[in-house]
Amino acid sequence: LLYERHGEPAAVVQLKDLEVPKLGDCDVHVKMLAAPINPADINMIQGTYPLLSPLPAVGGNEGVGEVLEAGRRVTALKPGDWVIPADAGLGTWRTWGVFPEKMLLKVPSDISVLCAATLSVNPCTAFRVLADFESLVPGDSVIQNAANSGVGQAVIQIARASGIKTINVVRDRPDLPKLVERLMALGADHVITEEMLRKPEMKDIFKSIPRPRLALNCVGGKSTTEMLRHLQPKGTMVTYGGMAKQPVMVPVSAFIFRDVRLRGFWMTQWRKDHVQDQESVAAMMDSLCQLIRRGQLTAPACTEVPLQDYRVALEASMKPFVSSKQILLL
């Protein structure tokens, strides 16, 4: 799926037949199996993301493929191995590709295709924001907005496996009871709407669990200001997205009297910073794959779409209140 200019995805993305390039000594020929459509993919096509691929570009930053053939100097990969992108910008919305070995990470093929296809962005983000900003211990709590997003669903499950309680904020919607039920089934301790954040009943939640030391924000605007009120003194709020396209507003009193910390996180930057530290990358992937094998981390709710129906998938991925991730089957 190629785009030659930036613009609205349904208008600029086209399905094109291209020749598979020749295999170099350090290259790997990969048959792509499945690739999701993430918000960052849409923003890259629109030209609004901080990281843009040179045009013409193939869409997609995440997915899983199977190695068909490896070049003479390739040491870590062999035919039959499953691989995912080591970094953003690979262009995963394609049936075949030839990539340098260093642009790929091997993943176990005993996890489901959907888990592998959605592993490198959202679960990794969830893992890092839970691990890198506060030293959380079992019994601690975390509050997050956009709890039904891919990252939100992974945060609920990873926290649950570590004995950490989650307070999950979602927007009010027509099918709210169904969404609450789904997040509770994943291991959420509390699911509330943004309106509830402002209500005195919030105190009842903190009778059974401590106030959170960590808040995870991917919305911005009013939702964030309200969430911040419930953070413990000296707690940290990490912003990793801005879906409301509104700034993060913080009362001065939160800084002075409660000494809260505001941090940012971008998975792409973390990968750049850890290029020389493959042990950290391997340890994270290993932990996530173990959680998947134990049934403690599942793929987000997915809708599988054949590649030729890509327009339907692109449009569905941009609709509000859709909790299901569109996955292109390649």
* The model's pTM: 0.92
In the chain, which residues have pLDDT < 70? 321, 323
Query: Where on the phi/psi map is residue 293: left (φ > 0), alpha (ψ -120 to 50), or beta?
Result: alpha
Q: Do the bridges between strand 104-107 and strand 82-85 make them parallel or antiparallel, or are there none, so unpaired?
A: antiparallel
Domains of the chain: 2-118+299-329 (3.90.180.10), 122-268 (3.40.50.720)
The predicted-structure confidence for 239-280, as pLDDT tens digits, reads as follows 999 888 899 999 999 999 999 999 999 999 999 999 999 899
Distances (CA, A) of 310 to 51, 321, 322, 328: 23, 20, 17, 7
Residues in the chain: 330
Question: Hey, which residues are catalytic here?
Answer: 49
Residue 111: which residues within 8 A CB-CB, separation 6 or more? 289, 292, 293
Residue 16, pLDDT score: 94
Beta strands in the chain (DSSP E): 2-3, 13-14, 27-36, 57-58, 64-70, 82-85, 96-100, 104-107, 141-144, 165-170, 190-193, 214-217, 236-239, 261-264, 302-306, 325-329
Q: Closest Cα partner for 238 from 270, 213, 216, 267? A: 216
Residue 319, pLDDT score: 85
The predicted-structure confidence for 191-235, as pLDDT tens digits, reads as follows 999 999 989 889 999 999 999 999 999 999 988 999 999 999 999
